[in-house]
C-alpha cells in the first residue's frame, strides 16, 4: 500500500471540493447579470403621497420619489400655483405626478385628502394602492411661550400631530404589505428654541407615531420611520439675508444650511427596498446640528 504524505483531506473530500468549484464556476457564468442600478428607478411602479409638497422639503421629496419612478400625489392646501409648478417640473423631467388639495387640521381632513388621492390613483393606474406615505405638512409657531394662545396651541396640534395620525389610519387600507410610511419630525425635538415649544411638542408626537405604528405594522412588512431635518432653506425670506444664513450655517457640522434635496434624498432611501430592515427609527438629517 502506498503511504499518504501528510494528513491531507479525508478520502473523497478532494472530489467534493472539485465538484463545488465546478458548480460555482457554472453559476458565475450562467446566472443572468443584475441590471444596472440606474436603468430602472428603485421605485418604479410605486405610488406615493407627500403632504405639503408644493415647496421646500416636500417638493424636493416629491421630485426625488418621482425621479426614482414613483407616481406622486402632490398635496397642497392653498397655493395651487406652487403645487402645479411641482407637478410640471416632475413631468418635464420625465416623471409622473398629480396635485391634490386638502386643508389639514379640520374635521374630516384625512378622508378628504385620501379620497382625492384614491381618485387620482385610480384614474392613472386603475387601482387605489398607495405604496409610500410621507407626512411632511406642518406649521410652525414663532411665538414666545407666554404668548401662546389656546387657539394657536390647538391649531398646531391639529395640523402637525392629529392630521398625520388620522392620515396614517385612513391610509392603512390602501397600503400594501411592504409599504412605507415616513413622518417628518424636526431637530427641535433634540435642542431648544423656546419660540417653537408647541411645534416641538407636536413633532415629538410624530416621533411616537412612528415608533408605535412600526410595531403595529411590522407583521405586514410596512416600515414606519421619522426623519428630523435641521435648518433647511425652504425659500423663506430669512434665507435671503447673508448674515442670517452665515449664523445658521455655523450650527451645522458642515458649515452650511441644509438644502431641501439633502432631506428628500434621505426620505427616498427610507421609501426604497434598501431600507426594508429599518423601522421605528429616528433619522437625524440635521447636517450634524445635533452634535453640539
Phi, psi of 247 (to 5 degrees): -65, -45
Active site residue 199: yes
Burial (CB count <10 Å: 0-12, 13-18, 19+), residue 144:
exposed
SS3 275: helix
Residue 93, SS3?
A: coil
Q: Are strands 71-76 and 180-184 parallel, antiparallel or unpaired?
A: unpaired
Query: Rounded CA gap, 190 and 37, in Å?
Result: 36
Annotated active-site residue in 76, 98, 199, 213 = 199
Assess contact for 217 and 224: CB atoms under 8 A.
Answer: yes
Q: Cβ contacts of residue 78 below 8 Å, gap of 6+?
A: none
Which residues are part of the catalytic machinery?
199
Amino acid at each position: 500500500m502506498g503511504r499518504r504524505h501528510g494528513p491531507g483531506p479525508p478520502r473523497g473530500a478532494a472530489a467534493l471540493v472539485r465538484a463545488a468549484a465546478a458548480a460555482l464556476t457554472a453559476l458565475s457564468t450562467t446566472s443572468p447579470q443584475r441590471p444596472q442600478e440606474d436603468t430602472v428607478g428603485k421605485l418604479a411602479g410605486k405610488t406615493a403621497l407627500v403632504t405639503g409638497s408644493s415647496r421646500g422639503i416636500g417638493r424636493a421629496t416629491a421630485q426625488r420619489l418621482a425621479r426614482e419612478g414613483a407616481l406622486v400625489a402632490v398635496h397642497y392646501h392653498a397655493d395651487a400655483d406652487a403645487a402645479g409648478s411641482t407637478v410640471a417640473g416632475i413631468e418635464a423631467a420625465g416623471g409622473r405626478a398629480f396635485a391634490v388639495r386638502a386643508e389639514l387640521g379640520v374635521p374630516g381632513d384625512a378622508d378628504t385628502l385620501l379620497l382625492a388621492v384614491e381618485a387620482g390613483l385610480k384614474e392613472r393606474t386603475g387601482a387605489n394602492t398607495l405604496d409610500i406615505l410621507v407626512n411632511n405638512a406642518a406649521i410652525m409657531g414663532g411665538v414666545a411661550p407666554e404668548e401662546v394662545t389656546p387657539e394657536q396651541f390647538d391649531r398646531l396640534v391639529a395640523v402637525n400631530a392629529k392630521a398625520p395620525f388620522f392620515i396614517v389610519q385612513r391610509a392603512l387600507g390602501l397600503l400594501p404589505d411592504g409599504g412605507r410610511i415616513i413622518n417628518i419630525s424636526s431637530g427641535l425635538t433634540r435642542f431648544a428654541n423656546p419660540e417653537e415649544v408647541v411645534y416641538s411638542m407636536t413633532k415629538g408626537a410624530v416621533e411616537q407615531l412612528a415608533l408605535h405604528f412600526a410595531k403595529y405594522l411590522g407583521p405586514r412588512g410596512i416600515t414606519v420611520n421619522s426623519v428630523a431635518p435641521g435648518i433647511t432653506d425652504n425659500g423663506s425670506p430669512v434665507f435671503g439675508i447673508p448674515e442670517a444664513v452665515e449664523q445658521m450655517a455655523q450650527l451645522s457640522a458642515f458649515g452650511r444650511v441644509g438644502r431641501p434635496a439633502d432631506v428628500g434624498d434621505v426620505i427616498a432611501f427610507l421609501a426604497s427596498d434598501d431600507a426594508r430592515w429599518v423601522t421605528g427609527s429616528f433619522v437625524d438629517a440635521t447636517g450634524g446640528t445635533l452634535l453640539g
